[in-house]
A and B are shown apart, each in its own frame.
Chain A
Amino acid sequence: MTDSKGTPLDEAVSLIDKTREQTAAMVEKIFAAAQPGAVYGQPIASETYTVITAAEVTSGGGFGMGIGLGPPSRPGGTAAATADAAQPDDRQTGGGGGGGGGGGSMGRPVAVIAIGPDGVTVRPVVDVTKVALAGLTAWATMLAVLRARRRARRR
């Protein structure tokens, strides 16, 4: 849109084009997490050992936008009749638009790779909290099933 008049519609379309370009650039940043370098940390050397951390990386995000234009308004503030609105005139068009987005990323340590005099070892990192929560959830589910079964028997 290169109309130099700068009508509200042209301005809105221009704004949408700009926003689209920006959001496309932002979405591309999300995909930076797909590189192998995002998973493995920089090697850390300490005396005889060199350590590399390995983590699971998850990232995601999305953006959206919208715009709406209405018929030209009359001086009294009421919208013009449809027949009037269909005819091109210089009266100002009303409208509105908006956009939004969100995203996030998460990293969880998985293992530590140690390179030392005794060779290369991969030591797993266990997230005890997550495992305990999974165990509690499984136990609660089993308990709920057992209780429901007992109640059904009594009836």
Chain B
Amino acid sequence: MRSGIDITWAREVPAEPVTVGDVTVTPRARALVVRLPQAGFVWNRPVAVTVERAGAVRRVPVVDITRVLQLGLLGLGLAIGVAIPRRSDPKRR
């Protein structure tokens, strides 16, 4: 039985490489692991793929567009929600 809380923000971990012809693609993932005595939580997400071709290695990031748009909209909502009351505050005029 574990005791205490253990939080690990893992570094990029490579998955099984895939070779097609002369191209080798290695997907990479990053995980947040929270370990509690009788509980656990894992958040694992893709980060990038490394493409190896003829000796040259190229890194292609995997962008989570859905998350970017969600956070962008949230930020926009918060920014406008803060800006409007400040602008229309008569004390600031």
Chain A residues within CB distance 8 Å of chain B: 20, 23-24, 27, 30-31, 33-40, 43, 45, 50, 52, 54-64, 108, 110-111, 113, 115, 119-120, 122, 124-127, 130-131, 134-135, 137-139, 141-142, 145-146, 149, 153
Q: How large is the interface on B (under 10, 10 to 19, 20 to 34, 35 or more residues)?
A: 35 or more
Do A36 and B84 touch (CB < 8 A)? no
Partner of B49, one of A120, A126, A135: A120
CA distance A55 to B62 in the complex (A): 10
Interface bits B19-36 vs A (CB < 8 Å: 1, else 0): 010010101110101011
Do B45 and A56 touch (CB < 8 A)? yes
CA distance A2 to B91 in the complex (A): 77
Do A39 and B29 touch (CB < 8 A)? yes
- CB-CB under 8 A from A134, the residues of chain B are 69-70, 73-74
- CB-CB under 8 A from A127, the residues of chain B are 66
Do B64 and A124 touch (CB < 8 A)? yes
CA distance A59 to B39 in the complex (A): 11
